Structure 1
């Protein structure tokens, strides 16, 4: 799309300063590199990926990308998306914070960069009405989406913190968890939205733990955006286009929540064959905050949580994981304040 010389000059200044301060080697976000012929974008059919769903439904990604072909790819859990990113079959992905860390660690800090936040909040441990305390879970089975995913780490860390030794954790996809809960084969699940709300509204569960209550100010990164480092280096303009679309999606959720919810529901209908009831989507949206701030200060704790949860033997170094130059250039263009990498952009 056409960009005025004035804007190009502004972006070059902002990007140049950001890269200088970060010590990274990503190509300047202004003007260098070439727009990608195609961008392969990963996301989940979850309300915690509302920015992606809104952007797809409202055409924001297509509009901002111009002649670049958009190829959206649906995933159901983070580890599968990590495999696609590291295997080179995916360029940019909306993904949970835990798998994002894993992708960085597995590639020795080389193949991926975290470029933006997407969603804060939106995960709960919901259980049968007769479960009143953590100890009531002893000898019971609790579900989460997949081993090593964001909710799996949160659940296992919480179990460790409660000193529970008899809780069986079962990994199953979210729709299966709903069926298992209704059949009494699991007593609950640590689930992202809208699935925690579906168990509450549609199946009579109650909240035992709202994860936001375990974090300062109730904020924690449920969904972030990561990109293959090579793609970021070669196509910074395309990355900016994706981030502009995310900003527009978040803006719609702020200014017209009714349409944003409807857009998410239309996408879910197209992707899964069914939409959410109004009570479910209302509850799910009430539990999330769409924000491009990745809440970088939370990531050292998230990395350590993987050790506590038994998912990793040691917490990986996250130095150089963040590259927010493109995001902060987009925010500057929109007259919005920059977000911080909390030092994690430095190697």
Structure 2
């Protein structure tokens, strides 16, 4: 199945190569067209790809574990690097330590703002859903959160912004120093899971699989399932970005990376059991701590894997970050480059995706 999928996805690239060969024999105008086509097929010797050892990055986990990226990147060596937080991945991209990475929306927005729109492009969606507010029993409404301690993964990260925006909409305030109606305590996910189990925090707005860990292992209650706050219950959790410099210099390699990505998303949606095993095997290889079967199944069931970047939710998330004082106004026009992805999707008989601001 994998080889058939990659062969189908490669049609667009093959057609482009054929066009290049034909135009090479033409006139001077044709020579210019040939040069353009050759540039569009330019490929790098190495691609440095970042991702997280987290189930919300399942397309990356599966793509690496099943060799889908390696199969697609013919002639290019794949090197991978893992991160535990978005800001670290963005810094690596800005410094050139990596060429592309799977990442959440808010770090991508921050990277775009920090570089004045020069550092990166979002080139594909990856994951939707799988985040929310888990609390102790006895907390049944926003009003019950007054005076409580709630964790988020990191100040200004995607879940932190979501919590602050939701609190504001419900008439509650929280400052960046842990004060206000609700005390927000940014801490890494592993710490938050342990703190909730020990009773030192009252809840946390976290992504999978931490959400399922808190529910199943510590009898937490899901007060807010974030997908219920979004149109069609879709919002971006993870997407794929690439440095603009790499995209400009090696568009052919970026296109092959996207072939591997599309193949990984298809594998997940066609073979959920196989995908869960592959993702967990890769997590085990990276951390020596695979997820328990019940946590793995629950987390996968709460996530949607898609090539659609769900652009509308990114623009809304940026507005939320501005409204809670964590982001200065930023013009996100041009943050997406979905042309190569849509070429491949169309060639494979799949619908194109949109970069429109409205969901």
TM-score, normalized by the shorter chain, greater than 0.5: yes
Counterpart residue number, 1:102: 110
Gaps in structure 2 of 5+ consecutive residues: 1-5, 21-34, 174-180
Post-superposition Cα deviations, 1:13-36, rounded to whole Å, max 9, x if no partner, equal xxxxxxxxxxxxxx9787535211
Q: Does 1:327 align with 2:341?
A: yes
Indicate how the Cα distance of structure 1 residues 30 and 254 shifts in structure 2: closer, same or farther if over 3 A, else same: farther
What is the TM-score of this pair, normalised by structure 1? 0.89
Counterpart residue number, 1:289: 304
Indicate how the Cα distance of structure 1 residues 159 and 11 shifts in structure 2: closer, same or farther if over 3 A, else same: farther
Indicate how the Cα distance of structure 1 residues 28 and 342 shifts in structure 2: closer, same or farther if over 3 A, else same: farther
* 8 Å contact from structure 1 (residues 194, 280) kept in 2: yes
Question: Secondary structure of the equivalent of 1:185?
Answer: coil
How far off its partner does 1:313 sit?
Answer: 3.1
Q: Does 1:86 align with 2:94?
A: yes
Quote the Cα distance in structure 1 between the aligned partners of 2:136 and 2:47. 43
Q: Does 1:152 align with 2:166?
A: no
Where do 1:54-203 residues align within 5 Å?
54-165=62-173, 166-203=181-218
Q: Does 1:220 align with 2:220?
A: no
Quote the Cα distance in structure 2 between the aligned partners of 1:140 and 1:229. 43
Q: Does 1:340 align with 2:347?
A: no
Indicate how the Cα distance of structure 1 residues 10 and 179 shifts in structure 2: closer, same or farther if over 3 A, else same: farther
Indicate how the Cα distance of structure 1 residues 69 and 176 shifts in structure 2: closer, same or farther if over 3 A, else same: same
Counterpart residue number, 1:41: 49
Q: How many pairs align?
A: 329
Quote the Cα distance in structure 2 between the aligned partners of 1:86 and 1:179. 33
Quote the Cα distance in structure 2 between the aligned partners of 1:28 and 1:259. 41
Counterpart residue number, 1:261: 276
Quote the Cα distance in structure 2 between the aligned partners of 1:288 and 1:29. 38
| Higher radius of gyration, 1 or 2 | 2
Question: Secondary structure of the equivalent of 2:78?
Answer: strand
Post-superposition Cα deviations, 1:37-58, rounded to whole Å, max 9, x if no partner, equal 1111111111111100110111
How far off its partner does 1:79 sit?
Answer: 1.4
Gaps in structure 1 of 5+ consecutive residues: 13-26
Quote the Cα distance in structure 2 between the aligned partners of 1:101 and 1:11. 37
Post-superposition Cα deviations, 1:169-198, rounded to whole Å, max 9, x if no partner, equal 111111111111111111111111111011
Q: 2:286 aligns with which of 255, 271, 276?
A: 271
Post-superposition Cα deviations, 1:182-240, rounded to whole Å, max 9, x if no partner, equal 11111111111111011111121110000000000100011111110010011111111
* 8 Å contact from structure 1 (residues 61, 242) kept in 2: yes
